[in-house]
């Protein structure tokens, strides 16, 4: 494990594997550097692949108060440590973060999987989502923080959440629950940041799973259309997810250019 120091002094931990042009994997909600390990292994035959702990997660530090700008600076510092020319791949809210970084830095390429923006379709988020999550997290109510994010942000029905509570992954979700307000801040009201994205000149690939909700697939198509150098791809995978077997055939040729 290596680390880089962000602009505000926060330690950001990362791991790298493979050899070739650098690619940074940016995780979404509930993700740490280990979440992207399987994809990193699949891509390592072609690239130097970096997985990292976003601030507040895993071995990385955290410096309050939180601001989206700090997470952008974290990725900029990591990119600089890798030579300043890394491509990005972001998943879900991590895709929102990757796009924000690419909009203000001339990166070679950026790929994202289902960033949860809302164009003219899809559920409207709770306008008080971030505040509710912050309150629950500050009170140490980890299980309730996870439950509220899953139901209010991811639209998982209560019976689905109850099923997840019985699964081995649940303690890991609780352990990272204090960072869920960060993802809520990244996504905001889910509106497409058209002014900022107009400045993203790098080639950009927006991917969606064929099994995902229609509004997420619609968003991927519309986001690709809206980006100055955007393109769209569909992969066969589970809802709002895709594994290395689905992603590698799409990501490798795109990231190679």
The pLDDT-based confidence of 51 (bands split at 50, 70, 90) is very high
- In this model, does residue 144 exceed pLDDT 90? yes
**pLDDT value of position 26:** 98
- Mean pLDDT confidence for 142-159: 94
**pLDDT value of position 115:** 97
Bridge-based pairing of strands 11-18 and 48-52 is antiparallel
Average pLDDT, the chain: 96
**pLDDT value of position 69:** 98
**pLDDT value of position 57:** 97
- In this model, does residue 56 exceed pLDDT 90? yes
Q: pLDDT tens, 23-42?
A: 999 999 999 999 999 999 99
Let me know if 156 is exposed, middle or buried by CB neighbors in 10 A (0-12, 13-18, 19+): middle
**pLDDT value of position 216:** 95
Q: pLDDT tens, 77-113?
A: 999 999 999 999 999 999 999 999 999 999 999 999 9
Q: Hey, where are the domains in the chain?
A: 2-122+190-256, 129-182
**pLDDT value of position 122:** 83
CATH number (3.90.1720.10, 2.60.40.1180, 3.40.50.1820, 3.30.1700.10) of 2-122+190-256 reads 3.40.50.1820
Percent of the chain having pLDDT more than 90? 96
- In this model, does residue 125 exceed pLDDT 90? no
Beta-carbon contacts of 249 under 8 Å, excluding residues fewer than 6 positions away, are none
Beta-carbon contacts of 27 under 8 Å, excluding residues fewer than 6 positions away, are 33, 35, 36, 51, 54, 91, 94
Q: pLDDT tens, 180-219?
A: 999 999 999 999 999 999 999 999 999 999 999 999 999 9
**pLDDT value of position 250:** 98
Bridge-based pairing of strands 22-26 and 2-5 is unpaired
HEC readout, 179-240? HHHHHHHHHCCCECCHHHHCCCCCCEEEEEECCCCHHHHHHHHHHHHHCCCEEEEEECCCCC
């Amino acid at each position: 494990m290596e680390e880089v120091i962000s602009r505000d002094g926060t330690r950001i931990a990362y791991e790298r594997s493979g050899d070739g042009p650098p690619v940074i994997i940016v995780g979404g909600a509930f993700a740490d550097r280990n979440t992207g390990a399987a994809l990193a292994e699949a891509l390592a035959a072609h690239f130097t692949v970096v997985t990292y702990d976003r601030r507040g997660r895993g071995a990385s530090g955290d410096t309050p108060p939180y601001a989206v700008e700090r997470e952008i600076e974290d990725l900029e510092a990591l990119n600089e440590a890798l030579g300043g020319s890394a491509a990005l791949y972001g998943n879900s809210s991590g895709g929102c973060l990757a796009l924000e970084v690419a909009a203000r830095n001339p990166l070679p390429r950026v790929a994202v999987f289902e960033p949860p923006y809302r164009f003219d379709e899809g559920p409207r988020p709770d306008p008080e989502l971030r505040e509710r999550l912050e309150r629950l997290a500050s009170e140490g109510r980890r299980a309730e923080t996870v439950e509220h994010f899953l139901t209010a942000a991811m639209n998982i029905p209560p019976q689905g959440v109850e099923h997840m509570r019985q699964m081995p992954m649940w303690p890991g979700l609780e352990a990272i629950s204090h960072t869920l307000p960060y993802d809520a801040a990244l996504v905001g009201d889910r509106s497409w940041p058209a002014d900022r994205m107009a400045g993203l000149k790098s080639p950009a690939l927006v991917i969606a799973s064929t099994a995902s909700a229609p509004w997420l697939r619609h968003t991927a198509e519309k986001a690709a259309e809206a980006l100055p150098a955007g393109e769209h791809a569909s992969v066969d995978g589970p809802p709002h997810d895709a594994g290395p077997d689905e992603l590698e055939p799409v990501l490798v040729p795109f990231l190679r250019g």
